[in-house]
Amino acid sequence: MKNPTVIAVAGNPACGDMITFYMKINDQEVIEKITFESYGCAANIATASIVTEMVNGLNLKDTWKELSWKKVVEEVGGLPNVKSHCGILAVGAVKRGIRKYYQQKGLVPNWIPRGLTSEEKQALEEEELAEKLSKK
């Protein structure tokens, strides 16, 4: 995508799963376009793809409140437990992107929690773990 408003990443290539979302957000805070690049398994690609379909055209507040990894897993028709983290990474990346969008504007809407969401935390923990493992 040319000139995305925000780029959001989750995962780590060392662990095998990585997602990068490119989001174009308009002045009404609507996700006008969202694309992704994925490095990883089929579940990683499927969850990233379904997330783009779920959030394209939604405003940021609705995206934040309605998007969950459980809904993503449901939308792809289910995943084995060992692959559920792919949905978590996808949702974590989108929520990080929304948080980043507002940080760039110097704003913090009251509907965004001060602390990281569970998806954001898990995405971050996976990245940190993969980083540690790659150094051993």
Q: Please report, for the domain that includes residue 78, its CATH number.
A: 3.90.1010.10
If you average pLDDT over residues 80-92, what whole number do you get?
90
Roughly how many angstroms between the first and final C-alpha of the chain, as a whole number?
Answer: 36
Question: Which band of pLDDT confidence, cut at 50, 70 and 90, is reported for residue 5?
Answer: very high
* Number of domains into which the chain is organized: 1
User: 106 in helix, strand or coil?
Assistant: coil
- Establish if 70 belongs to a structural domain: yes
- What's the pLDDT tens digit per position in 101-119? 999 999 999 999 999 888 8
Q: Minimal CA–CA distance to 127: which of 95, 97, 99, 85?
A: 85
Q: What is the mean pLDDT of the chain?
A: 90
Q: Which residues pair with 37 in a beta bridge?
A: 20
List Cα–Cα distances, 77 to 41, 88, 104, 121, in angstroms: 16, 15, 35, 25
Residue 129 lies in a domain: no
What count of other Cβ atoms lies within 10 Å of the Cβ of residue 24? 17
